[in-house]
Each structure stands twice: as C-alpha cells, then as structure tokens.
Structure 1
Amino acid sequence: MSTTFTLDTSTSRANPTPAPMKRLTIPAIRARKDAGATAEPLVMLTAYTVRMAQLLDPHCDMLLIGDSLGQVIYGLPSTLPVTLDMMCAHGAAVVRGSYHSVVVVDMPFGSYEGSPQQAFASASRVMAETGCAAIKLEGGQAMAETIAFLSARGIPVMAHVGLTPQAVNQLGGYGARGRSQAEYARILDDAKAVADAGAFAMVLEGVVDTLADGVTASVDVPVIGIGASAQCDGQVLVTEDMLGLFERTPRFVKRYGDMAGFVGDAAAAYAADVRARAFPTADQIYVAKRKSDA
C-alpha cells in the first residue's frame, strides 16, 4: 500500500488515507526512451507541499522537490543556503501527498560535492527520511564518479547539466549556456558522462536549442528540458512560475495561470468584507442553543 492524502470535508485539512500502489518506477521512467526516442514526453513539475503534490500528482510522471524551494518557499536569494533538513521535510510531505508520480529530491549545495562517500551519506538520509524514489544532483563529468558510486549502491540518480544554479557564482549568472563552441562541446561531454555513469535521466537546463537537440539525440536516457528544446524527452518547470504566482516570469516559462492576481483579488475581497462587517454571515457562525432548544 501507498499513502496519499484526502481532504477531511469537516476541517478542509489533509488526512492520510491508504491508496492502491500505482506509483511509477525508475525503470518505467528510464524505459520511456526506447531506441533513442520517447514517443510520449515525460511530464515533471516541482512540488514542496502535501496539497500541491495532491493536485499535481495525477497529471505528472515525476514530481521534483527542487532546491528552488529556497527562493519559492523561504525567500532566499539563491539555492545555495538550502539545507538537507529543508529538503527532507518537504520531500517527505510530497511523498505523503502523492501515489502515482516518481518523486525526486534535489541534493542541496555542499551535501554531495566533497566525495562519493559524502554524497552517499546525504542521499541515503534523504531517501530514508522522505521515502522518495531518487535524488538529483548537479554537475557533469566532475560528478560522474559520484553518480556511478551511488547507482552501484542502490540510489537512483537524476543528473543535471547545462546551466547549474548551484554553480551560479562560477558561471557568472543565469544566462543560456552553450553559445560558444567550447562550452557547447563541454556540456555535450557532460551529458554523455553522466549517462554513461548510470544516471537514469537528466535535467538539461538553460541551453541553446541546438545543443538541447544534440544532447537528446546523443544519450540513451531521458533528457528533461527546462529552457532547452521541445525535442527533449520531457519538460520540467517550477510550478509557481507556471501558475503565475510571481510577477517576473523567466523567458523559458509559459504562464498557465495568474495565481498572483487570483490570490490578491481574493484577499482584497476578504479584507473589504471584514472592514464592512459583511463577514462572517449567518452561514459562517455557530449559533448558541437556546434553553427552549435543549
């Protein structure tokens, strides 16, 4: 059995209920790319909470607890201050709120780069505390040994190449990568290295379209694009960006909603009702029983 959550209608809060085991598996995700092609692209979105996992799970193949939660949830200036404690807490919440998608948890900066042994200690903690199916780590050829080490010890790894946000200080910003011939060749080699090392899939972020197409055609594992190309084997976005929860929308994001506007309008209407004493009404209050009713 797997555990998901349903809403208790009396409290509008999430409560755990058993659900049939329908969760996709790592081999199933890997097998979606056959003979170098993916007939049906993989769908991946970020999730950080039980309720968001519930809403996204039926529509996704994978849910990613991205270290982007540092900015989205905690208001941090980058992903660099994110901790293992944060990732474990949010990862466990998403696993509890889902039963279909493969759940992947980002490894935060500083938790895996030191050595394969450090990476194993961190990754095993994440998997034990969250119940996730896989971890994701950034880096290409430099991380190939670590990916092989983890994979050989039963930890599925999703790689992340191209624009790697944890290396933003070294990269000098978030601009698209692969514009120069040298960088193009290096990222292509990175992708091949992590695939050969045993990664079951990889995120390819913020690269020129021709490079994205080249990487997708050059490796046997699914390539999940973000700011890459429609020809990738799948796509991932930060859900809050896709829903329009922030005023600024990155170039590579298509907004499928205006959550910021909806929340702002709802809050304004609530505030107006409170100030006018129009809320609560008889429908939202508890009337004391009269003695004659007892």
Structure 2
Amino acid sequence: MSRAQAYRLMKARGEKIVVLTAYDAPTARDEAEAGVDIIMVGDSVGTNVLGYASEREVTLADMAHHIAAVRRGAPGAYIIGDLPYATYDTPEQAQESAARLAAAGADCVKFEGARLDIVRALKDGGHDVCCHVGLESQHQAAKRRQGKTAQTARKLLDDAVALDEAGQDFLVLELIPRELAARITETLHAPTIGIGAGAQCDGQVLVLHDLAALGRREYKHNRRYGEIGAALRGAVAAYARDVREGRFPAQEHGFSLAPEELAAFEKGFS
C-alpha cells in the first residue's frame, strides 16, 4: 500500500489528517516530532520567507531548495510540494517540474486549477498528485472567498469530481463555503484538505507563520496558537539592549586562558 493510499484509509475511518506548512529543516523536524501527518512546502514560502510580493515570483529552484531542507529536517515525513506558477502549463512541462521536486524530496506535487490533463500526466509519471481549487493564489490576484453563489459552487463541485476521476490523491479546498466543502468531501474518494473551508474536510492545513503569529496579518480562517513573532521581537530587543549597555556577554559566556598559559602569553609583551 502506498503512503497516499494510507491517507485514503484515514478518510474512510473518519480520522482527521493534520497538515502544516514548513520551509526549513528545524521547523520540519519540530512538526514531525509534534505529530503532523503531512508537511506542505507551499509557494507561500515566497511571501512568508523570501520577501516576494506574491506567490507568482516563486521559482522551481526556490521550491526545490526548500523541499530539500524540509526533507533533511524530517526524513520520514510525507511531503507535498507546490509546483510554482508557470511551471505546469503543459503536461510535458508539468512532468519535468514534478521530477525536479521529487528529486529534492517531495512525495507528492500540488498544482492549482481543474487541469485534468496535468493530473493524468503526473500520475503517468509516477507522482502522487494534490490538486487545489477555490482560492488559487497563483492565478487570482484578489484573495477572496470562492463559490459564494449556487452556480459557482456547482462548478467547483463538478471540477472536484472531475479531478477525482482523473486520479488525484488529495484535494485542497481553500476559502469555500463549509456546505460546499462538506458536499465535495463526502463525494470524493480522495481526501480533502481544507483551509478556510469548514470542519467537514478530511484534513486541515494552515500556514505555520499564521498559526504561530510569525507574520503581522490576521485571517478569519486562521487560529493563532502562539505569539512567536512577538516573543522573537522581544528577545531580539532585549539582546540589543544588553549589548549596548554592556550586560552581554557576561563572565559566564566566555572563557579564559589557564594561568600558566596567560603568563606565557603576557611574557611576550614584557
């Protein structure tokens, strides 16, 4: 049984799947030790870590670099890696891009939109595939809720079913109504992973920087489980004060030459 199939069994048993983003080795190690089921290396690395203005600026090299770091930190984790914008415009390009992410350590590759040809090509290439509908950050400039009308909700449901029939292994549902997410979840064979899509999805994903308040923005779909950003800023400010006022380093933070070595050292200056 493949690891992707194991998550389908979790869905069948009604066990929730815990997914969280990570972009570096120490964070990945901590998440794996804390019991996260799946680590997602998302293109959100661009705006959360790399200082880019949008996810569109993220490159394939960026993704491979961060996936490799996460793999080193969590050797046994199941890792989903994002295919960046404009790296899966054709089935052939998608296969080449996915191969690069797999070589870096991704178990599964994710892309946005109802591209059935891309799903089939990636599955033919031996890749686990995570699809993504609802808010598509690479393709929608405005970060707005999706599927708010009966017509658009039906379209998203139809897209989800078509992706399932094409062979997807997971489906991320982002910022869609909870009723729609519940209907999609009960209809599909593949596990759904929600973000701002209600509690009825098979799993949930959050961006670590949002969960831990490493960033400054607040989102309705997020819950802050810690205030790491404020704690970090406080620690840095305290360090800066101690350095400027001569309180760091203190005696215990260094070491001295042994008396005989100090005497021999000083003798050279007499």
TM range (shorter): over 0.9
**Match for 2:95: what amino acid?**
F
2: CA distance, partners of 1:213 / 1:65: 25
1: CA distance, partners of 2:247 / 2:99: 53
Q: Which moved more, 1:24-33 or 1:56-65?
A: 24-33
2: CA distance, partners of 1:241 / 1:102: 21
- What residue ranges of structure 2 are gaps of 5+ in the alignment? 265-270
Report the structure, 1 or 2, having the larger strand content.
1
Q: How does 1:91-130 map to 2 (within 5 A)?
A: 91-113=67-89, 115-128=90-103, 130=104
The CA RMSD over aligned residues, in Å, is: 1.4
Shift of 1:286: 2.4
Residue of structure 2 equivalent to 1:43 = 18
Shift of 1:30: 2.6
Shift of 1:292: 6.2
Q: Which moved more, 1:85-94 or 1:97-106?
A: 97-106
Residue of structure 1 equivalent to 2:250 = 281
Q: Which has the larger radius of gyration?
A: 2
Residue of structure 1 equivalent to 2:132 = 160
Count of residue pairs brought into register by the alignment: 261
List 4+ stretches of structure 1 deviating above 4 A.
none
Question: Which residue of 247, 255, 260 maps to 2:224?
Answer: 255
1: CA distance, partners of 2:216 / 2:144: 20
Q: How does 1:16-35 map to 2 (within 5 A)?
A: 25-34=3-12
2: CA distance, partners of 1:121 / 1:248: 35
1: CA distance, partners of 2:7 / 2:227: 31
SS in 2 for 1:179: coil
Residue of structure 1 equivalent to 2:267 = none
Could you give the per-residue CA deviations for residues 186-216 of structure 1, whole angstroms, max 9, x where no partner exists?
Answer: 1111111111111111110010111111111
2: CA distance, partners of 1:292 / 1:41: 63
Per the normalisation by structure 1, the TM-score is: 0.86
Alpha-carbon spacing, 1:268–1:145, altered in 2? closer, same or farther (3 Å): same
Alpha-carbon spacing, 1:82–1:287, altered in 2? closer, same or farther (3 Å): same
Per the normalisation by structure 2, the TM-score is: 0.93
1: CA distance, partners of 2:246 / 2:255: 16
Give yes or no for the alignment of 1:83 onto 2:59: yes
- What residue ranges of structure 1 are gaps of 5+ in the alignment? 1-23
Shift of 1:220: 1.1
Give yes or no for the alignment of 1:177 onto 2:149: no
